[in-house]
C-alpha cells in the first residue's frame, strides 16, 4: 500500500523544501510544484512533494493517519 503524507512547508530553496509533518521536519524534493511558498500544505510521497493541498485537506489526512495508527496498535 502506498501512503502520502500531508505536511506544511517551512521553507523553499531551489528544488527542495523543508516540511513539517506533525512536528518532524525533513527535506523533500519540490521540483514538481511551481510557486511553492512557506505556509503551503503539500502531499508528500517517497520524499517528493507531489501536490499542493489546502489546510482542511491536510487536517483531514492527519486525522485519518492517526486513526489508522490507533487501529493498527496491538495487531502485531
State how far Cα 2 lies from the chain centre: 14
Q: Quote the pLDDT of residue 61.
A: 63
Q: Quote the pLDDT of residue 13.
A: 96
**Do 32 and 43 contact (CB within 8 A), yes or no?**
no
Kindly list the domain boundaries of the chain, sorted by start residue.
Answer: 5-72
In whole angstroms, how far apart are CA 43 and each of 22, 55, 61? 13, 11, 9
At a CB cut-off of 8 Å and minimum separation 6, what does 4 contact? Answer: 43, 44, 45, 50, 61
CATH of domain 5-72: 2.30.30.140
- Given CA atoms 64, 62, 23, 9 in this order, what sign does their dihedral have? positive
Tens of pLDDT, residues 21-72: 889 999 999 999 989 999 999 999 999 999 998 777 666 666 666 666 677 6
* Mean pLDDT confidence for 9-25: 95
pLDDT band at 16 (very low <50, low <70, confident <90, very high): very high
Amino acid at each position: 500500500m502506498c501512503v502520502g503524507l500531508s505536511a506544511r512547508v517551512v521553507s523553499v530553496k531551489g528544488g527542495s523544501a523543508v516540511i513539517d509533518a506533525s512536528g518532524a521536519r525533513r527535506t523533500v524534493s519540490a521540483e514538481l510544484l511551481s510557486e511553492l511558498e512557506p505556509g503551503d500544505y503539500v502531499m508528500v510521497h517517497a520524499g517528493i512533494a507531489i501536490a499542493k493541498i489546502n489546510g482542511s485537506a491536510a487536517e483531514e489526512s492527519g486525522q485519518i493517519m492517526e486513526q489508522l495508527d490507533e487501529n493498527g496498535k496491538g495487531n502485531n
